[in-house]
Amino acid sequence: MNSNRRSFLKTGATAALGLSGLTVISPSVLGKSMGYVAPSDKVNLACVGIGNRGAEIIKELHKTGLCNVVALCDVDMGAKQTLDVMNMFPQAKKFQDFRKMFDQIGNEFDAISIATPDFSHFPVTMMALAEGKHVYVEKPMARTFREVDLMIAAAKKYPKLATQMGNQGHSEGNYFQFKTWKDAGVIKDVTAITAHMNSRRRWHDWDPKISSYPAAEPIPSTLDWDVWTAQAEPHAFNKDYHNGQWRCWYDFGMGALGDWGAHIIDTAHEFLELGLPYEVNPTKLSGHNPFFFPMSTTLEFKFPERGSMPPLTITWQDGLDNIPAVPEGYGVSELDPNIPPPSNGQMQPAKLNPGKIIYSKDLIFKGGSHGSTLSIIGGAKAEEWKSKLPEVPASPSNHFANFLKAAKGEEKTRSPFEIAGPLSQVFCLGVLAQWSGLKLEFDRETRQITNNPMANQILAGMPPRKGWEDFYKV
């Protein structure tokens, strides 16, 4: 393709939907029996974001034996955090700007992995889909409600392309157990879920009385700060925006909710058919400020009846001092002996690993994050159900193999944008409630915030930076 590959954004032209040069050759009988996949039968993969979490994703994708890593792109190419992956794939072509990668070698890869900061998932994904590439993108899908909408619409426009959000638990035990138990009626009539993540976060040592963004610092010689900024409102470089620190700021990240919510409430959201809430209420925001996330947050997400399923409230709690109470019989939870149990039988633990407590009419379940499976709380109840629990099928592929096999037409992704998008939008609404400090009433039909016009305007996000507007066209 010529150097003006990005013209698709200006013209709205539909990109070719083929597999962009991927030649699929059936392996020999010997190859199949040995688990060998010929290079010509692998997905050619370009990777955007190759340091830190990006490096872990690339290694996992490579480990499947189903892809050839042909291109590496990072705005900080050559910095310490990128060297490991650069050394692993010395033959891969290197770029600092994903747009130039598409311009120059867009016909050399079939799929893309995206592990950039939350806010910049959007433009890379939109370009990749319009260019006919399968997309694996880290969670959450995007930072604003509107951007997620556009990503869902783009995936729908190009149905031959596989999309996968990186919540790996969707390919592990928790996913298959939740689905099986829901289908069998073990999980039914759920009315409340407590989701919690109470580990230390990057901003917990910062001063919440902050009155301005951090001062400008020299830009590292390896870093293209302009490309890092992408469509976001420009900020002068500071080390506290880079290398994961972006998680702390409303302008760039999604806080603890966006980081961990997709690993904790994802299966409940999908299999209990929650969709979008009609109300999000921030009942605790310790250290609230308009710049970075609170020290502790409690959010109530209220969902209506869905068919025969009753209304349901998810209570999200993060923060070191905001550990939820647990029901009697919860089990090992590092209970604080200095806190007497309240009269309702709920106990206050000193520490909990990230996870969830699911309250239904007859049973209470506890579970962790990612692929951790559920257990029934209460010895007698657990014993009563032990012989009645259905067999849970094993996962046919991990999350990375599932994506690559979907790109090859062999499986369907388990966290496609049509599933992951509404979940990501739950987080968008939650983060808006954190930032504003306001209860948000949301019309699920019109998809508008009805009780606050300013919050409703912000729901769409700020206008993109000049020069990035065309990424907002499907």
Instruction: Parse the chain into domains and list their residue ranges.
Output: 7-170+399-421, 173-395+427-459
Note the pLDDT tens digit of each residue in 116-161: 999 999 999 999 999 999 999 999 999 999 999 999 999 999 999 9
Q: For 276, which DSSP code?
A: S
Q: Is 29 exposed, middle or buried (0-12, 13-18, 19+ CB in 10 A)?
A: exposed
| Residue 237 near residue 217 (C-beta atoms within 8 A) | yes
Tokens for 95, please give them.
């770029």
CATH of domain 7-170+399-421: 3.40.50.720
Instruction: Give the residue from 468, 415, 76 showing the smallest Cα distance to 241.
Output: 76
Domain 7-170+399-421 identical in fold to domain 173-395+427-459: no
pLDDT reading at 277 higher than 80: yes
By C-alpha distance, which of 361, 359, 303 is closest to 330?
359
Q: What is the fold of 173-395+427-459?
A: Dihydrodipicolinate Reductase; domain 2 (3.30.360)
- Mean per-residue pLDDT for 445-462? 93
pLDDT at 467: 95
- Report the mean per-residue pLDDT for the chain: 91
Confidence check: pLDDT of 339 > 70:
no
What pLDDT is stored for residue 222 in this prediction?
Answer: 98
Q: What percent of the chain clears pLDDT 70, i.e. is strictly above it?
A: 90
For residues 303 and 310, the answer to whether their CB atoms sit within 8 Å is no
pLDDT digits (tens, 9 = 90+) for 7-43: 444 444 333 333 333 434 343 344 444 456 777 799 9
Which amino acid is it at 152? I
Query: What pLDDT is recorded for position 17?
Result: 33
Higher pLDDT, 379 or 337: 379
- Calculate the CA 196 to chain-centre distance: 16
pLDDT in tens, 159-215: 999 999 999 999 999 999 999 999 999 999 999 999 999 999 999 999 999 999 999
pLDDT at 333: 65
Mean pLDDT (whole number) for 42-66: 98
pLDDT at 381: 87
Cα gap 20→422, rounded to integer Å: 29
- Cα three-residue angle 463-299-430, rounded to 5 degrees: 20
Which phi and psi angles does 160 have, rounded to 5°? Answer: -80, -10
- Report pTM: 0.91
- pLDDT at res. 16: 33
Kindly report the number of other CB atoms within 10 A of residue 452's CB atom: 16
- Of the ranges 7-16, 63-72, 302-311, 380-389, which one carries the lowest mean pLDDT score? 7-16
Displacement of CA 282 from its chain's centroid (Å) = 21
- What phi, psi does 79 have (nearest 5°)? -70, 165
Residue 276 pLDDT > 70, yes or no?
Answer: yes
The mean pLDDT value for 353-363 works out to 95
Nearest to 327 by CA among 298, 351, 285, 358: 358
Residue 164 contacts residue 115 (beta carbons within 8 Å): no
Share of the chain above pLDDT 90, in %: 84
Q: What is the DSSP letter of 437?
A: -
- Which residue reads 């539909």 in tokens? 14
349 or 186, higher pLDDT: 186
- C-beta atoms surrounding 307 within 10 Å: 5
- For 387-405, the pLDDT digits (tens) are 999 999 999 999 999 999 9
Cα dihedral across residues 283, 288, 294, 295: positive or negative: negative
pLDDT of residue 214: 97
> Mean pLDDT, to the nearest integer, of 335-353?
70
